[in-house]
Amino acid sequence: MPYFTYLPHLAFFALGTLLGLEVSYKWHSEPFVVRKIELIPLILALIGGGLMVFYVPIGLLLIGFVIGMRPGYGVYETIIGILFALILWVTL
């Protein structure tokens, strides 16, 4: 049964990306990309990055939410969240 070890991780990440895509289409109806850092995805990315160190499936759900947003949205927030996870992982 070692094949199913990462199944929760993949399932939570896929669920997060689908939720992120659905929510971002409701938030952003404009067809262009606004290049600014949004507060809610940034908070979700930071929480997800912190949880990636302690409990990976929920961290992947939140990171996947931000990664799965419409193309052009959530890029900076994702990078900040992943950098936060790396810094936290190195310090611990």
Radius of gyration of the chain (CA): 14
Q: CB–CB of 15/64 below 8 Å?
A: yes
Residue 14's pLDDT is 95
Q: What percent of the chain has pLDDT over 90?
A: 51
Is 29 domain-assigned? no
What is the rounded average pLDDT for all residues in the chain? Answer: 88
Q: CB–CB of 59/52 below 8 Å?
A: yes
pLDDT digits (tens, 9 = 90+) for 14-57: 999 999 999 998 988 877 666 788 899 999 999 999 998 888 89
Is 28 domain-assigned? no
Is 27 domain-assigned? no
Full residue range of the structural domain in which residue 39 is found: 11-22+35-91
Is 30 domain-assigned? no
Is 6 domain-assigned? no
In eight-state DSSP terms, residue 6 is T
Is 15 domain-assigned? yes
Its pTM stands at 0.85
Is 63 domain-assigned? yes
Count of domains in the chain? 1
